[in-house]
Structure 1
């Protein structure tokens, strides 16, 4: 089947791009279309087309391009495809406009309805004056386009509920793929480090609480520091970002050592997962890849109840879900998490969240399953 994979825009790094990678692997004969492509070598041997926005300076500013996206997607031609598989976190689900009776069926995998429209409290872009001014009109258009006849999947039950509230549509839940097989293929990631990373790693405490993400306010890395203080354990914060000064000030006042690991390589991040006593992940996320990666490598996690991260923790029994962030609750949660046996979670994680599990669910949902050679095959439900 000659399918078409549609994605908002393609960058060199990004969680949604990783999902598109798996979509492309599942449907090797499908072409790809996006607003613009900033990673031209990401899909070798495959036709990747761009919108008119790619030929303008607007490709360098998502905020400036925002008002043009809905109409651009609605006027995108998709009728040549046998089916259309759309990866959407902004307006890609508008692709092709209203679904004609004789047109290709559209399957939309939703990372989230655009947060700056539907959950501006979770996205600083929602506070932009231009975004606020045009949001009412864009929400109306977005809801109408979502009801144009596509079939939907959500990356978590949390997002499924947001879609129902925002768009009034139902969706199947298909959790995104996590590189479980790759992570578990290495017994000790510390042994894979280059000399500089190995030296840095050797200077870290043997036991510590880990916080890892971009250094921005909503990631709540302050909770990782507080958890370390309550547990009497050093804290390692891995990442980088504009919130560094605020975190550094908190670190200076903390009752336990707080060590910053700036922009860790993948191998160093994986080694940190393995070495940590606990990962604290207090951000409200659509799904949350990092907690699954940590549990994959045998590290328990603390997550907040709101958001999609709690779903993987509950499914794997690989940590504790926090209903509150007060000191008493946080202290008890840390104590419970540190006592967990992570072996069952490590044994189950691939079947629930691995790439093969994602491909199986995706191809069943789309109904045009193909293997790596592009030959049609049928998968039982």
Structure 2
């Protein structure tokens, strides 16, 4: 059986690439396709030397730094991949890879991290954050995203079975494509985040400093609580704004190595998270260290964190993405922290291991392959009768 794995783009080693890594471990003989491949030497180690088949976008001017600006060309790019010789196509998609062209004799299973966020329900937020919500550039961007939505919906018909990385994303898949999906939570390398019961007197937040992560809310909230220490790890375009909000009780460390991040995760009294994520790998990593989480109560966090209503809580939720709500969440945690044990945090994180992901994915694929084979046999028997 020939297998193709299709990924949106390879530019960094982040959440979707960690899913791809496990897919490649499960199917080491598979061929890999991606619109572009600009991974650096160390970042590409998870590919284990596998050749990447890229699209024409790889060779376009400035593609390495500005590949996202070629988004209008990406639907055409993935449609140019010739997958006609493959029996199983497994796409890992948060943008365009699910749109590859397949035939009736092929099985296409798409693991969806999210339908294209900036084309669907988060369109207005992304346009405002990019300064493209008005003017001629705004009109062009809105027209492009309208075309992208039509293409995205149409190509959902080419997927035989959808997998979602959370119930939150499964609801998005239904809303956008009107297709059912099965949830398989993404893999988290919890073994790299050693359990540490003793905690120091500081809170931690860590993320890329981009608008939707809402790091500025967390920093501003702690600036209004000068008796509480906050450590901030990460870098990105919002760094200047975040530094402007930081009080004397806040240490902004910028980008740090995994070793430094893990050390702080292990010692923090709680990890603070204000984004509405599809899943949220970082909050699972914090719990793997035995560290409770204070999180915005929307999206995947509701599935990866056990709130105070649980018999074994691992964190607390705040209700809104506002400074006051973050502050209320911290106060709630401090009043209820005795109920949240590091051991229960670790126990909860262990339900998201790579081994569990691979077992679940393989079982799903085997089931669908068996069903597809049985269907082919029935069709052949009917043809013989006729």
Q: Which TM-score tier does this pair reach, normalised by the shorter chain?
A: 0.7 to 0.9
SS at match of 1:362: helix
Using the TM superposition, give the Cα deviation of residue 18 of structure 1 relative to its aligned residue in structure 2, in angstroms.
1.5
1:171 matched to 2:181: yes
Q: Does 1:156 align with 2:166?
A: yes
Q: CA deviation at 1:217?
A: 2.9
> What is the TM-score of this pair, normalised by structure 1?
0.83
Say if 1:4 and 1:83, in contact at 8 Å, map to a contact too.
yes
Describe the shift of the 1:279–1:187 C-alpha distance in structure 2 as closer, same or farther (beyond 3 A): closer
Change (3 A) 1:207 1:229: farther
Shift of 1:230: 4.7
SS class of match (1:90): coil
Shift of 1:331: 4.4
Which of the residues 242, 249, 272 maps onto 2:264? Answer: 272
CA-CA distance at 1:296 after TM superposition: 0.3
Counterpart residue number, 1:116: 118
Distance 1:6 1:265 in 2: 29
Q: How far has the Cα of 1:121 moved from its partner?
A: 4.2
Structure 2 CA distance for aligned equivalents of residues 47 and 264 of structure 1: 30
Answering whether residue 203 of structure 2 is matched by residue 209 of structure 1, we say: yes
1:52 equivalent to 2:51? Answer no
Q: Aligned pair count? A: 346
Q: How does 1:135-284 map to 2 (within 5 A)?
A: 135-184=145-194, 206-225=200-219, 226=221, 229-230=224-225, 232-252=227-247, 257-284=249-276
Instruction: Give structure 2 stretches of 5+ with no counterpart.
Output: 369-386
Report the 3-state secondary structure (helix = DSSP H, G, I; strand = E; otherwise coil) of the residue aligned with 2:158. coil
SS at match of 2:246: helix
Cα offset, 1:251, TM superposition: 1.6
**Aligned-partner Cα distance in 1 for 2:330–2:70:** 45
2:104 and 2:239 mapped to 1: Cα distance? 53
* RMSD after superposition: 2.6
- Between the aligned partners of 1:7 and 1:143, the Cα distance in structure 2 is 18
Match of 1:68 in 2: 73
The 2-side partners of 1:230 and 1:274 are apart by 23
Distance 1:154 1:363 in 2: 15
Whole-Å Cα distance in 1 between the matches of residues 226 and 251 of structure 2? 16
Aligned residue in 2 for 1:200 = none
Is the contact between residue 265 and residue 271 of structure 2 (CA under 8 Å) also seen in structure 1?
A: yes
Corresponding position: 1:353 with 2:352: yes
- 239-248 vs 78-87, greater mean Cα deviation: 239-248
- Aligned match of 1:320 in 309, 316, 323? 316
SS across alignment from 2:193: helix
TM-score (ref. length: structure 2): 0.82
Q: Secondary structure at the match of 1:241?
A: coil
Residue among 280, 299, 302 paired with 1:307: 299
Are 2:163 and 2:184, in contact at CA under 8 Å, matched by a contact in 1?
yes
* Equivalent residue, structure 1, for 2:374: none
**Partner SS, residue 13 of structure 1:** coil
* Cα distance change on mapping 1:92 and 1:160 into 2, 3 Å: same
Q: Which moved more, 1:18-27 or 1:44-53?
A: 44-53
Distance 1:161 1:353 in 2: 20
